[in-house]
Amino acid sequence: MKKQLKLFITGTDTNIGKTYVSAGILTAFNNIGCSTLGIKPVASGCERMNDELRSQDTMTLMQHASIKLDHDDITPFAFEPPIAPHIAAQEAGRILSVTAINEKIRHALHYPADVSVIEGAGGWHVPLNHSETMADFVIANQLEVILVIGIRLGCINHSLLTCQAMHSEGAKIKGWIANCVDPEMRNINENIETLKEWLPIPCLGVIPHGSRAEEVLDVEGWL
């Protein structure tokens, strides 16, 4: 590879499979011989293990990445309550900002991995504090963005608004991935075709419900 690939995985909402897709991307790159690293700078809803906070999402990324760094190196901001990160940070008395995140993950973000997958928290505009969102972190680090769209009722509106916001803020958008999270949704194919027609960014893959992301995504074409 001529350059390191740094992908930021965001979503149209929470609980739409960002971690599932991120793990699949890591595995897919592993399968073609790339070294991989998973990073999740901010995580809420963490569990206490041996008196330390651990994120299940982070543990999943660590499991699927070929490079194993310490939990605190890739998730320096771990909060126990399953609430918005900026509120959790306030309750914990911690400063959450773009500068603070960059300082804490500098080692991980600049680690010599072929592919780094950085998973966001929630959607594109999740607040970090009173004036910054996770989007500011992405823009500051010039990360390439992949939008995970959970295919369920309401996803078209959420997707169009998110894409519009990313474009207006100058994000480097690589494309979007459809993750079929609701097997009972009616007209799934029609919704996906509508998204392909309306979104001005490429579709990188469609993951049917129950499928393994790494078996669907052609990541070799992303290099």
Active site residues: 40
Neighbours of 132 (CB within 10 A): 18
Which amino acid is present at 149? Answer: I
Phi, psi of 4 (to 5 degrees): -75, 140
Please choose, from the candidates 6, 14, 22, 2, the residue with its C-alpha nearest in 3D space to the C-alpha of residue 214: 22
Q: Using CA atoms, how far apart are residues 104 and 99, in angstroms rounded to an integer?
A: 9
- In which element (H, E) is residue 172 found? strand 172-179
Strands (E) across 68-171 are located at: 77-78, 115-123, 144-150
Q: Using CA atoms, how far apart are residues 22 and 38, in angstroms rounded to an integer?
A: 8
Please choose, from the candidates 3, 44, 14, 201, the residue with its C-alpha nearest in 3D space to the C-alpha of residue 128: 44
Q: Contact 88/79 with Cβ under 8 angstroms?
A: yes
